[in-house]
Structure 1
Amino acid sequence: MSIIAGIELRDLLDRGAVTDMVDPEVQVQVCGVDLTLRSVELFATPGAVDYDNRERKVSKTEEIPFDESGWVHLDPGAYLVTFNEAVSIPKDIAALARPRSSLLRSGATVETALWDPGYRGRSQSLLVVFNPGGLRLKRNARLIQLAFYRLSATAEKGYEGAYQNENL
């Protein structure tokens, strides 16, 4: 696998791999696309994860509103973030994301899962604030850079899980 960059990345984006960008001129990087903050939610109930998902229970969340200036203050802890951008991963591609360095230098990080071939949706990730003073985020803040990787072969079957078409 290798990271898709340059002209090949632009072509992938032109084919709709990432839509609803706030500003593609700012968000498209050499090796990926910055995803931006749509909403932040606080975990309100416990979750449950089992082997075959028969007893899976996703935690309920409560949205934290932005103030009149578009900011939200987050105390240390874990939060669910939803991105503005919708992603549509072709069957010969997978994607991984890393937090932007500004976020790390502010004492926070974002944990993500693999974007599987065939996945389509407006993704969510786990934001963890470690900074004892908390973190302020503005609506549309760039949080992660999504990098696309070409697979050694096209996936025979695309993603068919519970999160397909989420938040669209």
Structure 2
Amino acid sequence: MPHNLSAGVLSREQLLELLDGEPPLVTGLRDREAQVQPNGIDLTLDSVANFTGPGTLTVDNAGRRLADSTDLTFGPDGQLYLSPGAYLVRFTETVNLPADLMAYLRPRSTLLRSGVALHTAVWDAGYAGRGQSLLVVYNPHGFRVQHGARIGQLVFHRLAAATAEGYDGIYQGEATDRR
């Protein structure tokens, strides 16, 4: 029996169906059983970068410039110590949002309980790619994170109606080229 297709947050069962769809809702899951939650899918850490320059945002985006950044190197144990500050993180998984779904990324509670925040924008219907977020270490003692750790839960919302024009911005298809 098909699940309710009305607007709202998707359940684990609906997410599992969409993971088996074409295209799959999310690809590149490291551990499907651990990552699919009752109300979302955990995304894992692929890379962490330091900001090395300023960014610019203008009224018409003609002068938009992303801040320069440099990837940090994980240690031999796969861990990385982060001093207090702001970092750009990229996720391992590729997300493929259809025209009737949008998503929000929320931090795992361990981050918050450790003095670390994960900030993100709306993931618009029609977006496809490997997203990035802002990780801010507020804890004055820093934070350790391991490559591949689950750091955020992507929560999917079904729209009341599919959007006629999905996301078509500069981040469409970002970083789908696995390094």
TM, length-normalised to structure 2? 0.92
Q: Which residue of 1 aligns with 2:128?
A: 120
Partners of 2:68 and 2:30 in 1: CA distance:
28
Partners of 1:18 and 1:52 in 2: CA distance:
32
Q: Which amino acid aligns with 1:155?
A: T
Q: Which residue of 1 aligns with 2:52?
A: 44
Query: Percentage identity across aligned positions?
Result: 48
Poorly superposed stretches of 4+, deviation over 6 Å = none
Q: Which residue of 2 aligns with 1:12?
A: 18
Partners of 1:144 and 1:5 in 2: CA distance:
17
Query: For 2:34, what is the secondary structure of its paired residue?
Result: helix
Partners of 2:91 and 2:162 in 1: CA distance:
27
Q: Which residue of 2 aligns with 1:105?
A: 113
Query: For 2:14, what is the secondary structure of its paired residue?
Result: helix
Question: 2:104–2:123: 8 Å Cα contact kept in structure 1?
Answer: yes
Q: Which amino acid aligns with 1:8?
A: Q
Partners of 1:88 and 1:99 in 2: CA distance:
20
Partners of 2:35 and 2:135 in 1: CA distance:
19
RMSD: 0.7
Residue of structure 1 aligned with 2:154, choices 118, 131, 146:
146
Partners of 1:47 and 1:133 in 2: CA distance:
27
Q: Which residue of 2 aligns with 1:157?
A: 165
Partners of 1:6 and 1:159 in 2: CA distance:
25
Partners of 1:6 and 1:58 in 2: CA distance:
35
Partners of 2:171 and 2:107 in 1: CA distance:
22
Query: For 1:128, what is the secondary structure of its paired residue?
Result: strand
Aligned-residue offset at 1:97: 1.1
Partners of 2:15 and 2:130 in 1: CA distance:
19
Partners of 2:173 and 2:12 in 1: CA distance:
28
Q: Does 1:133 align with 2:141?
A: yes
Partners of 1:161 and 1:21 in 2: CA distance:
25
Question: 2:12–2:40: 8 Å Cα contact kept in structure 1?
Answer: no
TM, length-normalised to structure 1? 0.98
Q: Does 1:65 align with 2:87?
A: no
Query: For 1:25, what is the secondary structure of its paired residue?
Result: helix
Partners of 1:151 and 1:76 in 2: CA distance:
38
Residue of structure 1 aligned with 2:101, choices 93, 101, 111:
93
Partners of 1:14 and 1:4 in 2: CA distance:
15
Q: Which residue of 1 aligns with 2:92?
A: 84
Structure 2, unmatched stretches of 5+, are 1-6
- 1:32-83 Cα offsets, whole Å, 9 max, x none, are 0000000000000100011211000101100010001100000000000000
